Amino acid sequence: MTSTTVDGGAAYAFKVIIVGDSNVGKTSIVHRFLYAERPPHVHLTVGVDFGIRNVVVGDVRIKLQLWDTAGQEMYRSIASAYYRNSAGCIAMFDLTNQRSFQSLHQWIADIGHAAPGARCIVVGNKKDLSDKRVVDATTARALASSLGAEYAETSVCDGRSVNHMFQTLTARIYAELVVPTDATSSVGGITILRPPPVSHKVRSCQCKV
């Protein structure tokens, strides 16, 4: 599932892992993000799929390396081998499936063990199926907050919600893992591809005198 939409000139590469129960829509959302279209058909991921797309944060271009992992228990040990050195994690559940929501604790715990520095976002998918929804936003947002994660809701029908989710996670990784290190050395899940622009630094004061 490698994307062909990558532009050159990225300053950094971020490794992002996507986890969650089977059938929550991980592969569909990744396809939507990579190709800006609904997938014509979806197959169950066996092991891990991989895709790449660039995202711009401010004036910095970042290459997202997306690892879409299988949710079936039989593939879990295979997929978990890819968790190490992840800069970010998308922990997805199905808003119409309570069990997939309850599984988030274990998924994020697994990521925390393998990649303790990874920044996570909890994603409630299939928000378009409002009549079948069983997990409300308040409950989901509270869980995400307790786990130190952002929260977003997506639908493969709505490309903007998908793009916003990936943009939110990328911006957090950049702000918390790149800027504080002054981009002088690579950290877990982040690779420096080219010298970043000087303006990437956060100024202590932007006041006008």
- Is 6 inside any structural domain? no
Whole-angstrom distance, CA of residue 14 vs CA of residue 199: 20
Exposure b/e, 10-38, CB count within 10 A at least 16 = b: bbbbbbbbbbbbebbbbbbbbbbbbeeee
Mean pLDDT of 34-50: 70
Angle, vertex CA 118, rays to CA 124 and CA 206, nearest 5 = 95
Neighbours of 68 (CB within 10 A): 27
- Is 88 inside any structural domain? yes
- Is 5 inside any structural domain? no
Sign of CA dihedral 78, 124, 117, 194: positive
Count of domains forming the chain? 1
Confidence of residue 48 (pLDDT cuts 50, 70, 90): low
Tell me what pLDDT residue 4 has. Answer: 37
* Structural domain boundaries, residue 66: 12-200
Spell out the residues 6+ positions from residue 183 whose beta carbon is closer than 8 angstroms to its own: 11, 12, 192, 196, 200
Question: What is the tens place of the pLDDT at every residue in 166-209?
Answer: 999 999 999 999 988 765 556 678 998 886 555 544 443 343 43
- Is 155 inside any structural domain? yes
Q: Has residue 13 got a pLDDT over 90?
A: yes
29-43, 105-119, 124-138: least confidently modelled range: 29-43
Strands 88-94 and 60-69: unpaired
Question: What is the tens place of the pLDDT at every residue in 19-28?
Answer: 999 999 999 9
- Is 3 inside any structural domain? no
Q: Has residue 71 got a pLDDT over 90?
A: no
Under a CB-based contact definition with an 8 Å cutoff, are residues 168 and 89 in contact?
no
- Which residues sit opposite 14 in a β-bridge? 64, 190
- Is 205 inside any structural domain? no
CATH number for 132: 3.40.50.300
Question: What is the tens place of the pLDDT at every residue in 124-175?
Answer: 999 999 999 999 999 999 999 999 999 999 999 999 999 999 999 999 999 9
- Is 97 inside any structural domain? yes
